[in-house]
Amino acid sequence: MSRHHRRKKRFKLRSFYIWHRYMGVAAAAFMVLVAVTGVLMNHPDRLGIDDKFVDAGWVLDWYGIHTPDDLLSFRAGDHYVSRMGKHLYLDTREFEGRYRDLVGAVRVHELLAIAVDDSILLLTPDGELVERLHTRDGVPAGLLRIGTDPAGDLVLEGGLDLWTPDADFLRWQPWHGDRDSLRWSKPQPLPPALYQALVTHYRGEALPLMRLLADLHSGRFFGRYGPWLIDLSALLLVLLSLSGTWIWLRRRR
Amino acid sequence: MRPVRLFIILFGLLPLAAAARGTYQTPQDFLAEAFDGQVPEARVLWLTGTRREQVKRILGHPYPALRVRYWLRGARSAWILDETGKDRPITFGVLVENGRLARIRVLVFRESRGAEIRHPFFTEQFEGLKLDPRLALDRSIDGISGATLSVRAMKKIAALALYLDTQVRGEHVPTSP
């Protein structure tokens, strides 16, 4: 082999090696991302991330997760009962389950009563559920209003009639008296600090961390062309392995 | 298989999942059946103190309310109780007679899978069961594959109703640690 030929061959190898390096650098950032998110998603239980949510504001904004505009709040004693989306809160404490129709909330002697979805949630002042009363327990269907009479007893308006329970909330009977004496629960604006706390809580439970990891892993997080970027980096990785092998073989010779 | 065909088949299976959900018997009908049409007045049992701890031991978690409603006449007590299978609560009706489970029914099923537990071939296994000193059922129950969590929920509720029956009768339940 002539000197000129050897030099040409070395130059070719070096230019291939440079391309190999560029491809490596280009793919590295995405491959680190894919590897790290992949490992995290493989062990969610051990890492304790399977029930975690993302609360970073910019990430939630990026996903278009905003506060619903159908916030409804009532004051019951020293507490506020609010529904935001399908979440129901006593102050900042969320109740288990999903709720649609919050009618109102009142304090009844030592308990709190919340009328929601054709049922009454009876709570201790600490917010512990005593019982959820349904229509099968005598709660009138089609709840329209919840309030208290001058004695502080619970009164419900269901259909055209007014109803009141006995002291144990076991039996319901029609309420008779001066309707003007009743104090109905009415919507009230939340104090700004409580509103902000609810917004933070609501948005903080909208995006599971596992979903974010899956979107980063697949590239969907980066938008429409994100998956193509990940595909491209995967292709680069394939080329890297081929070019790396080729360079190694050439050098051995 | 072509994606379109696969989609059509999967879409066709969706109603099967939805069909599992539903009210199989109203609580009122269950009570009427349990007391031969003469339903006694409802009473409440508070789950506080030791009772609360025992309930937690049976369910593996606290009962989500501080009191439960029951109906009692003579040797019979009936209970309407909720327990979550996988994600959503299942409403059960349980009748206890002379300290033994006389009947258990799925009243409302809200999960997408596991509704097979409502069938008599399964619920009949519970008839005659008692509570053992460990606050567990005194006989084993054959499970249903694909309905493990619903089966577990029904077993817990059966044990809970038997325990609560002892409480409304003021019976002392000797329990092992």
SS (H, E, C) chain A: CCHHHHHHHHHHHHHHHHHHHHHHHHHHHHHHHHHHHHHHHHCHHHHCCCCCECCCHHHHHHCCCCCCCCCEEEEECCEEEEEECCEEEECCEECCCCCCCEEEEEEECCEEEEEECCEEEEECCCCCEEEEECHHHCCCCCEEEEEECCCCCEEEEECCEEEEECCCCCCEEECCCCHHHCEECCECCCCHHHHHHHHHHHHHCCCEHHHHHHHHHHCHHHCCCHHHHHHHHHHHHHHHHHHHHHHHHHHHC
- Asked if B32 has any chain A CB less than 8 Å from its own CB, the reply is no
In terms of domains, do A112 and A32 share one? no
Residue A58 domain flag: no
Residue-wise pLDDT for A24-71, tens only, equals: 787 787 888 888 989 998 888 888 888 888 878 788 888 877 777 788
Residue-wise pLDDT for A167-213, tens only, equals: 889 999 999 989 999 999 999 999 999 998 888 888 777 788 888 89
Residue B14: the pLDDT is 45
In terms of domains, do A190 and A163 share one? yes
Span A68-79, average pLDDT: 88
| Inter-chain residue contact B41 with A128, CB threshold 8 Å | no
What is the value of ipTM here, to two decimals? 0.77
- Per CB-CB distance under 8 Å, the chain A contacts of B67 are 130-131
Distance (Å) from the C-alpha of residue B26 to the closest C-alpha of chain A? 9
- Per CB-CB distance under 8 Å, the chain B contacts of A129 are 64-66
Question: Which positions in chain A have a beta carbon within 8 angstroms of at least one beta carbon in chain B?
Answer: 96, 124, 128-132, 136-137, 168, 170-171
Residue B176: the pLDDT is 52
Segments forming the whole domain that contains residue A179:
72-204
In terms of domains, do A199 and A126 share one? yes
Distance (Å) from the C-alpha of residue B106 to the closest C-alpha of chain A? 16
| Inter-chain residue contact A168 with B27, CB threshold 8 Å | no
| Inter-chain residue contact B65 with A168, CB threshold 8 Å | no
Residue A231: the pLDDT is 87
- Per run of 10 residues, the mean pLDDT along chain B (length 177 residues) is 52 50 89 94 93 94 93 94 88 95 94 87 93 90 89 95 93 55
Span A121-129, average pLDDT: 92
Residue A90: the pLDDT is 93
**Domain total in chain A:** 2
In terms of domains, do A42 and A127 share one? no
Distance (Å) from the C-alpha of residue B40 to the closest C-alpha of chain A? 12
In terms of domains, do A216 and A190 share one? no
In terms of domains, do A189 and A96 share one? yes
Domain end, chosen from A171, A188, A204, is at A204
Residue-wise pLDDT for A205-222, tens only, equals: 778 888 889 988 988 888
Residue-wise pLDDT for A19-29, tens only, equals: 778 877 877 87
Question: Closest residue of B to A96, CA-based?
Answer: B64
- A246: pLDDT confidence band, cut at 50, 70 and 90? confident
| Inter-chain residue contact A171 with B41, CB threshold 8 Å | yes
Residue B172: the pLDDT is 57
Residue A128 domain flag: yes
In terms of domains, do A173 and A77 share one? yes
Residue A105 domain flag: yes
